[in-house]
Amino acid sequence: GVVGLKPTYGRISRYGLVAFGSSLDQIGPITRDVADCALLMQIISGQDYMDSTSLPREVPEYLFELETPIEKLRIGLPR
């Protein structure tokens, strides 16, 4: 299997990316499983002073979040 993720705009630096559509181009991981995706997001996320569009926010503990129970998780679908 393959897991891909399109992160929130600014979560991952776009420094060095040749943009074809500046506000549309994003960098995101493509991995073999969810745990690898979480690990890679942990590594590549965060503010980059070379990219003014990167977010100055704390990076979540993505691997820790995989341990969170999902019994009470609610997902909304528009009709």
Residue 42 belongs to domain spanning: 1-66
Tell me whether residue 73 is in a domain: no
- Contact criterion met (CB below 8 Å) for 17 and 25: yes
Give whole-number Cα distances, 5 to 20, 25, 44, 49, 79, in Å: 20, 13, 13, 23, 24
What's the rounded Cα separation, in Å, for the pair 24 and 40?
Answer: 21
> Is the backbone of residue 20 left (phi > 0), alpha (psi -120 to 50) or beta?
alpha
CA 44 to chain centre: 8
Number of domains in the chain: 1
Tell me whether residue 55 is in a domain: yes
Tell me whether residue 78 is in a domain: no
pTM for this one? 0.79
Tell me whether residue 74 is in a domain: no
Tell me whether residue 75 is in a domain: no
| Tens digit of pLDDT at every position of the chain (79 positions) | 999 999 998 999 989 888 787 777 888 999 999 999 999 999 999 999 999 989 999 998 999 999 989 898 899 999 9
